Structure 1
Amino acid sequence: MRGSVEHSWGWGHCAPSPLLLLTLLLFAAPFGLLGEKTRQLLEFDSTNVSDTAAKTPGTPYPPYSLADFSWNNITDSLDPATLSATFQGHPMNDPTRTFANGSLAFRVQAFSRSSRPAQPPRLLHTADTCQLEVALVGASPRGNRSLFGLEVATLGQGPDCPSMQEQHSIDDEYAPAIFQLDQLLWGSLPSGFAQWRPVAYSQKPGGRESALPCLASPLHPALAYPLPQSPIVRAFFGSQNNFCAFNLTFGASTGPGYWDQHYLSW
């Protein structure tokens, strides 16, 4: 996922250097990246779900709260050359040892020029934007056909949630098998955006044979539960914020999945 969240980070013609942007992102903590908050790691049992079921990915297991994770020392992964850093963590309380050999990682990277990543799905990025990559590796699923997802909370603009749009194209030579681009837009004249290809991968490196669908739920106001307050968000917007939430779910009950190699990347 890439984004230019001018409403959160002040990016634009007067933007600070990409290194400063990366520094701001790192101070926002793992669950406060890109102006959004990845709040929970979700897991569903899809054993009795047909591939045509669209309303639910399966029976939910208790979610993993990222606020209860222990995270690595970010300075160990900070790479000024690539303007990137990786947050890697696991639950602090893990009585079933689900994450004994596993971890959840968030890699954030800022860009100083337009280009495309070498790995699929090769989403185009521009200068003064950043990219978030997520990888779940080695964690033991709680079922034979577990699907994983993320709950994401993002700032709204006024009383409204950002709009989610789909773009379809058949002429993208860099992602010839992926004809869709999903994006969040803030405002009628967007002051910020987040874009992603609706695809994840069950193997490394990612390829067409290990591609998994990525489904996004509709956005809804997130007033029913408290959200962790990022110091960066408070600095820009104060303590009273309008959050909206949505879920991203990776995979389907049939085809390739996390169960193949205990690997998932998005």
Structure 2
Amino acid sequence: MAASVTLLQCVCFVTLLPGAVRCTYSRQVSLEYNPGRNVSVDSPSVPNVLHVRAVGHNDTIHYLWSTLGAPTVLLIYTSSPRSSLHINWTRLELRDPSGAVHIEPAETIVYSTAVIFSRVLEYDDVNDTANLSQVPNRCFFPTYQLEDFTWDDVNATLNRSTLTAQFRGRNATGQLFGNGSITFRITAFESSGRDTGLPRLLHTANTSKLEFVVEGVEPRGNRSRLGLELMVLEGAGARRELKVAHTIDDEYTPSIFQVDKLVAMAGNASGVASFLLWKPVAYSSPRAFRGDSQPSRDYSLRQGRSGSLPSASIAFAFFGAGLAGGIRVSAINISFGAAGGELYNASRYLSW
């Protein structure tokens, strides 16, 4: 994306590509932890903000990943190679963080969006449908609200050479989570290529990758399956559409002939502003071999309401807590597994 479920790891590839930058060329990419923050500032929590700055010939892509509140990636695309991100740390950790994140010069901002990873779903698939829309309400367990998790220090995993980092969180309130954790693994790219592991997605210097990892979580049912809810914020004039593309890419991802895209269309009909892309396949082992694969399923994109959003996210520091100015909210659920296929209980590991 810019976007990235015993061991339960859900590896989810999410790619975000600004449509205004179509050339295949390299970028100068840097990773910065808690940019501009005075380490002596007294704070009750680790802020955990990661700024990925990808500078091109005439533009810059800013990715801001954070677990302040719900895990979120904020993307801001600017028309200047010298644009810079600024954070007011005092304001950022207030109940209303509006205005805490801004870009200078502000007039260089071309496009912005945010993806919030709001909830992990779990249900007892008593009828073996592997379909969220067909599950009786009584079979759903209380959702894991990701904004309620406690998160490890991302700086401990930051690798500036490989352009990678990971956010690892644990349920702070539930008793059944056990020793399990949920991890978001981030990878940035300086140039084009193909990922080495399945499902071997293509990437360019205009994209980043997210792996969503849930590890060692105790199942709450005898036939547990999992799902993930994503919520997207879009600036005025853009709209999200869910599209499916068919591919003959069997050489790289055997038997997977589909690519799903959550596309942001510019309101002025100028084309695609950004997209999240994934192949509808999940894996029940960290090896991610073909024999460990199982399908993932996405459901219809629905228009959300500001009241349905998590109470906290770094997205609000840029868009404003009240989401004024025509900000659109949309949401989508993704579930993992197939009817008659392996349940989460069998391996307690899932990668997407």
**Alpha-carbon distance change, 2 to 113 in structure 1, aligned in 2, over 3 angstroms:** farther
**Which amino acid in structure 2 is aligned with residue 66 of structure 1?**
L
Q: 1: distance between equivalents of 2:200 and 2:316? A: 29
User: Identity of paired residues, percent?
Assistant: 33
Does residue 1:33 correspond to 2:73, yes or no? yes
Query: If the length of structure 2 is used for normalisation, what is the TM-score?
Result: 0.67
Paired residues of 2:147 and 2:312 also in contact (CA < 8 A)? no
Q: Residue 92 of structure 1 corresponds to which residue in structure 2?
A: 172
Residue 161 of structure 1, CA deviation: 4.2
Residue segments in structure 2 that go unaligned for 5+ positions in a row: 1-12, 32-50, 54-62, 75-113
Q: Residue 108 of structure 1 corresponds to which residue in structure 2?
A: 186
Q: Residue 8 of structure 2 corresponds to which residue in structure 1?
A: none
* Matched pairs, number: 260
Matches within 5 A, 1:75-154: 75-95=155-175, 98-154=176-232
Q: 2: distance between equivalents of 1:218 and 1:167? A: 16
Matching residue within 234, 239, 249 for 1:156? 234
Q: 2: distance between equivalents of 1:243 and 1:138? A: 32
Greater mean deviation of Cα atoms: 178-187 or 220-229:
220-229
Q: Deviations over 1:25-83 (max 9, x none)?
A: 334656112621010010011122346x6833563111000011011111111111111
Kindly indicate which of the two structures has a greater share of residues assigned to strand.
2
Residue 132 of structure 1, CA deviation: 0.6
Matches within 5 A, 1:216-227: 216-223=298-305, 224-227=307-310
Q: Residue 22 of structure 1 corresponds to which residue in structure 2?
A: 52
Greater Rg over alpha carbons, structure = 2
**Alpha-carbon distance change, 91 to 145 in structure 1, aligned in 2, over 3 angstroms:** same
Q: 1: distance between equivalents of 2:135 and 2:248? A: 28
**Alpha-carbon distance change, 80 to 254 in structure 1, aligned in 2, over 3 angstroms:** same
Q: Residue 282 of structure 2 corresponds to which residue in structure 1?
A: 200
Residue 232 of structure 1, CA deviation: 4.8
Residue 252 of structure 1, CA deviation: 2.4
Does residue 1:42 correspond to 2:121, yes or no? yes
**Alpha-carbon distance change, 80 to 246 in structure 1, aligned in 2, over 3 angstroms:** same
**Which amino acid in structure 1 is aligned with residue 290 of structure 2?**
R
Q: Residue 314 of structure 2 corresponds to which residue in structure 1?
A: 231
**Alpha-carbon distance change, 25 to 160 in structure 1, aligned in 2, over 3 angstroms:** closer
Q: 1: distance between equivalents of 2:281 and 2:134? A: 18
Matching residue within 329, 334, 343 for 1:248? 334
* Secondary structure in structure 1 of the residue aligned to 2:15: strand
Query: If the length of structure 1 is used for normalisation, what is the TM-score?
Result: 0.87
